Structure 1
Amino acid sequence: MSKVRMLQPHKKAAALDTPTDLKADAVTAISEALNTLLADTFALYLKTKNFHWHVSGPHFRDYHLLLDKQSEQIFAMTDDMAERVRKIGGTTLRSIGQISRLQRVDDNDADFVPPLEMLRELLDDNKNFTANMRRAHKICDDHDDVATASLIEVWIDETERRTWFLFEASRGVDRTGR
């Protein structure tokens, strides 16, 4: 008597269909907008963390702590964004490659970036991120998705606060970061 048994064919994975009262075109449009924001969020997180790891100079401690706190806040947005896509019946990001195809935040791979340039670059990135969230909010409004719009409003407020802090931290500082 053999203990070897035949392998059973695999069943197809259950569809990732989540019930929602939103129309199919709304799910598609909102999911696309949120997935692009999610790609931007990951890119902004990594860029902020990169600058956190590589900041130097006389204001090292202040900038290091500021960028660490901001990166934590940015990363905290990712799960809520992805889960919102799933709640409305969409699918979300699956890879770094997909993030790189969708992101609108420019990477910075420079060996050295002066601290003031770091702050100003992140300031611009956060301002652009806010503008992109406002466009996503309009898509939600157009499809009567008040729940996603409400989340985006919180993320806009958080991003405006980061922008404000980056602006104030970079004021009156000369080009060398002193």
Structure 2
Amino acid sequence: MTNESEAAYERIQEQVARGWNTWDTRSVLTQVLLPEGLGLSFGLKEYYRGTSLRTVQIGRRTEGAETVTLGRHAYGGSYTETTVSWAGITIRVQTAHTGDDLVALVTPTANQQKSGLLTIAVNYLWNRPGIVSREPDHLRATPGTVTPDADHLRAAAGTALPRPVASPRSTVVDRRIVDIFATAPHVDDP
């Protein structure tokens, strides 16, 4: 490759690798915001055996593996649809985004044989820096490097704090905050 073609390739990569899409190859139910590397992963927990499905993959051949049916998927990730069946639970996950806003609709199919719980994990992937904190009514993800203040240092030493992440006195570099809301109330899993 010449320097000119390498530069053109880099420009294309920067244009394509932006926004929400299913960039994570470990789970088809993970939406990732690039370039930050913020992942929003959907999973399932069933109570009959007490097992969880945290990563959803196509074509697993093990006993009890999930079945994945891919639906529509826009090239740029503006819409995705996936149906997953696992442990007597079937859900359809639809996502849509415009700009930086992502909306997800998770629909259980009628007459589920077993009770289950939808799980949502939010984290920064691929060693990207950032923090995720629980606010009273939502989750907040802040990318970048955080310089801890004295409260954070006390928390790391084992002193309990009411909000152990990202106080207003922290210094955040590359600030782009993402707030994650749900229409259903948060339930702590027993």
TM-score (norm 1): 0.27
Point out which structure has higher relative CO (alpha carbons under 8 A, 6+ apart): 1
Q: Which has the larger radius of gyration?
A: 1
Higher helix share: 1
